[in-house]
Amino acid sequence: MSNNPQYDPLHALYAQALDLHQQGRPVEAISLYAQVAEQAPDVMDVHYNLGLAYFQTEQFSRAVTAYSRAAELCPDDEDILYNLGLAYKKGNRFVEAEKAYLKALELAPSDPDIRYNLGCCYRDAGEIDAARSVFARLVDMAPDHLPALNNLAYLHHLAGDYDMAREMYGKIVQLDPEHASARYMHSVLIGAPVDVPPPEYIRSLFDHYSHTFEENLINDLGYNLYLDLRIQFDRIEPKKRIHDHCLDLGCGTGLAGEAFRTACRELSGVDLSEKMIEQAAAKQIYTSLHTEEIVTFLRHAETVYDLFVAADVLIYRGDLHPLFEAAARRASPDALFCLSIEKAEEDNWMLQPTGRYAHHPDYVRKTAGESGWIELLAENTLSRREGDQWVRGTVFVLGRRN
């Protein structure tokens, strides 16, 4: 701000805005910043701080406007361009975000944060090759940059380049032996036997994709397995038309819950991902929701359920004995269990390079039978697209042995 006396009232107003902002009261600060910006439109700091406050309150479009004005006033400030890129990206305006990051990178080519966020921008926009190139360059510059290594490993894995993915995961484990997701994926790619992924891996995976999960599954991968389960459920002749209490195991964002809501009086869901649970809660279809690993939940639950649903959940478990046993303990005598698997051609189960598990249908029948479940119906299906091919699966409806 200028030292001109006519600005003295604005100085006081701006100081008050800064104080509110520093106290963690950005909403109140915004009102004062906006007043100052209107009367002093050519002061970069005012627009920059207004952008910060808008960003903190998730008003990303307004943050873009404020940061853009700050960038006009100070075009050679990489910090402004970096924050402008963040605001664009939060609004899914990836083209504009890319331009802002590239301009910032021209000014500060060695800044790892700018380069990393440029890579994330390409990744989230689906520009996989561009993202891999940016992350690879960053790893060359900073070999111990764990977030870049993790993204590079994931993108190699996604592209089916398992050798490079294995190498990247191995480097992450060397740098951070407690990195659960990298340890798991490295084990997958070296062929080590793993019965169940670590909870941290599942939680991280689905927390990260919770906001785009449904759109990606349905629109990009052609996923409708939850509807297949309901269709097969409707084919049988249950002892009662409406079930008392359904438990949606690994409920995710609630796709299966929506499909089965009309089949039960009460609907509960359990999932390890808190952010997935938040998405499911927003649908207002569940009687109760629980954030927990499904077998752990079943082992301490006191409720009796007469319908269990597990849509695309067993792909994250190898050994199914604990699940079937735990569900049997919480099942009514006439309970049903609707589930799906990815189909393995060999006996028992196998951990695939994708990190998902496939099961042979006979293994499901045998394992379920040992816990008192019997097959009422089984039908082959196509689970989702993976590249140019469909993933083959089987859906089951099980009942209790009388």
Burial per residue of 140-150, b for 16 or more beta-carbon CB atoms within 10 angstroms, e otherwise? eeeeebeebbb
- Sequential DSSP letters for 327-391: HHHTEEEEEEEEEEEEBPSSSSEEE-TTS-EEE-HHHHHHHHHHTTEEEEEEEEEEEEEETTEEE
Query: Please, which residues have CB within 8 angstroms of residue 269's CB and are 6 or more apart in sequence?
Result: 247, 248, 251, 254, 257, 277, 280, 286, 288, 289, 290
> What are the tokens at 341?
């698997």
All domains in the chain, ordered by first residue? 5-190 (1.25.40.10), 213-400 (3.40.50.150)
Supply the pLDDT for residue 214: 59
How many Å apart are CA 295 and CA 371, to the nearest integer?
14
- Could you say which DSSP state residue 261 is in? G
Amino acid, single-letter form, for residue 382 = L
- The total of other beta-carbon atoms located within 10 Å of residue 364's CB is 23
Q: How far is CA 348 from CA 342, 343, 392, in A?
A: 12, 10, 16
Please name which of 253, 278, 256, 282 lies closest in space to residue 267, comparing C-alpha atoms. Answer: 256
Residue 249 forms beta bridges with which residues? Answer: 270
How many Å apart are CA 303 and CA 88, to the nearest integer?
47
- The total of other beta-carbon atoms located within 10 Å of residue 206's CB is 22
The mean per-residue pLDDT over the stretch 163-167 comes to: 95
- How sure is the predictor about 130, in pLDDT bands with cuts at 50, 70 and 90? very high
- How sure is the predictor about 363, in pLDDT bands with cuts at 50, 70 and 90? very high
Query: Please, which residues have CB within 8 angstroms of residue 3's CB and are 6 or more apart in sequence?
Result: none
Supply the pLDDT for residue 215: 63
> What are the tokens at 224?
């409708």
How many Å apart are CA 36 and CA 16, to the nearest integer?
11
Amino acid, single-letter form, for residue 275 = K
Are the CB atoms for 213 and 253 separated by under 8 Å?
yes
- How sure is the predictor about 145, in pLDDT bands with cuts at 50, 70 and 90? very high
Supply the pLDDT for residue 383: 79
Q: pLDDT digit string (tens) for 322-349?
A: 999 999 999 999 999 999 999 998 879 9
Amino acid, single-letter form, for residue 339 = L
Supply the pLDDT for residue 5: 47
Q: pLDDT digit string (tens) for 273-325?
A: 999 999 999 999 999 999 999 999 999 999 999 999 999 999 999 999 999 99
pTM of the entire predicted model: 0.78
Supply the pLDDT for residue 199: 83
Supply the pLDDT for residue 197: 87
Residue that is written with structure tokens 């070999």 in the block: 143
- How sure is the predictor about 79, in pLDDT bands with cuts at 50, 70 and 90? very high
How many Å apart are CA 106 and CA 92, to the nearest integer?
23
Q: pLDDT digit string (tens) for 25-76?
A: 999 999 999 999 999 999 999 999 999 999 999 999 999 999 999 999 999 9
